[in-house]
C-alpha cells in the first residue's frame, strides 16, 4: 500500500477529544466509551416489507454499512444495541416488536426507517400500527417511501452522534425512567 493511501486511512481515524501533549491524552470516561460504542453498533434489522430491501442495499458493497462498524447484524435481541424497524408494522405484530425491544439490553437505540414504521405511511387502516412510537420509544426517524440507502446511512449517523454524546448516567436518570414508564416498560 502506498504512503498516500496510508495517509488517507489515518485521516479517517477519529481522534478522541481531550487534553493531549507529548505522550499523554486525558479525557473523560463518557467520551472514551461513547467513541467505542458509536463505532461498534450492532443492528437488529426488524424488516417486514419494502423498506427492508433498501436496507439490504445499505448493507451491500456499494453503500457498505460496515464502514460505520455496523456490519455485524444480530437477529438475537440480546446481542444487539440498535433496533432498525423497516416496513409496515401490523397491529398484530406490535407485541412482537415490543418484546424484541424489551429483550435488548441497555443501552439501546431505535431507528425508525420509512413512512410505514414512523407513521403507518399510506396504510391508514384499522390493521396497521400508525407509528412504532406508539409502543416503543424511537430515537431517530428516517422519512421516505422508501428512503434511499443514503438516508438510512444518515439515520445511522444521527444515532452514532447520539451514542457519542450520551452521558453514561442517562439510562439511570429519573427522566429516562419516566420515558420508559410512559410506555409501560419497567
Site residues (vs ligand SF4, CB under 6 A): 49-51, 87-88, 114-116, 121, 145-146
Shortest spacing between CB 152 and ligand SF4, in angstroms: 11
Q: How far apart are CA 108 and CA 110, in angstroms?
A: 7
Shortest spacing between CB 78 and ligand SF4, in angstroms: 26
Q: Which residues, at least 6 apart from 186, have a Cβ–Cβ distance to it below 8 Å? A: 180
Shortest spacing between CB 159 and ligand SF4, in angstroms: 19
The residue among 115 and 159 lying less far from ligand SF4, judged by its C-beta, is 115
Shortest spacing between CB 63 and ligand SF4, in angstroms: 17
Pull the grid cell for residue 146. Answer: 422508501
Which residues are registered as beta bridge partners of 86? 47, 113
The residue among 55 and 109 lying less far from ligand SF4, judged by its C-beta, is 55
Do residues 57 and 86 lie in contact, with contact meaning Cβ atoms separated by under 8 Å? no
Shortest spacing between CB 37 and ligand SF4, in angstroms: 28
Phi and psi angles of residue 86, each rounded to the nearest 5 degrees, phi first: -135, 115
Pull the grid cell for residue 54. Answer: 433498501
The residue among 18 and 143 lying less far from ligand SF4, judged by its C-beta, is 143
Q: Where are the beta strands (DSSP E) in the chain?
A: 19-21, 24-26, 43-47, 82-86, 109-113, 140-142
The residue among 34 and 119 lying less far from ligand SF4, judged by its C-beta, is 119
The residue among 34 and 147 lying less far from ligand SF4, judged by its C-beta, is 147
Amino acid at each position: 500500500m502506498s504512503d498516500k493511501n496510508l495517509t488517507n486511512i489515518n485521516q479517517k481515524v477519529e481522534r478522541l477529544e481531550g487534553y493531549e501533549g507529548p505522550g499523554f491524552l486525558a479525557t473523560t470516561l463518557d467520551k472514551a466509551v461513547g467513541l467505542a460504542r458509536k463505532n461498534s453498533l450492532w443492528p437488529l434489522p426488524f424488516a417486514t416489507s419494502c423498506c427492508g430491501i433498501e436496507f439490504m442495499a445499505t448493507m451491500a458493497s456499494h453503500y457498505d454499512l460496515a464502514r460505520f462498524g455496523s456490519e455485524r447484524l444480530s437477529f438475537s435481541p440480546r446481542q444487539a444495541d440498535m433496533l432498525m424497524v423497516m416496513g409496515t408494522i401490523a397491529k398484530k405484530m406490535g407485541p412482537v416488536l415490543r418484546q424484541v425491544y424489551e429483550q435488548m439490553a441497555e443501552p439501546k437505540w431505535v431507528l425508525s426507517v420509512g413512512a410505514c414504521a414512523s407513521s403507518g405511511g399510506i396504510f391508514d387502516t384499522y390493521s396497521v400500527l400508525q407509528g412504532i412510537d406508539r409502543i416503543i420509544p424511537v430515537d431517530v426517524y428516517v422519512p421516505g417511501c422508501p428512503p434511499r440507502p443514503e438516508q438510512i446511512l444518515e439515520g445511522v449517523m444521527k444515532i452514532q452522534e447520539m451514542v457519542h454524546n450520551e452521558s453514561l448516567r442517562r439510562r439511570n436518570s429519573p427522566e429516562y425512567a419516566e420515558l420508559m414508564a410512559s410506555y409501560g416498560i419497567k
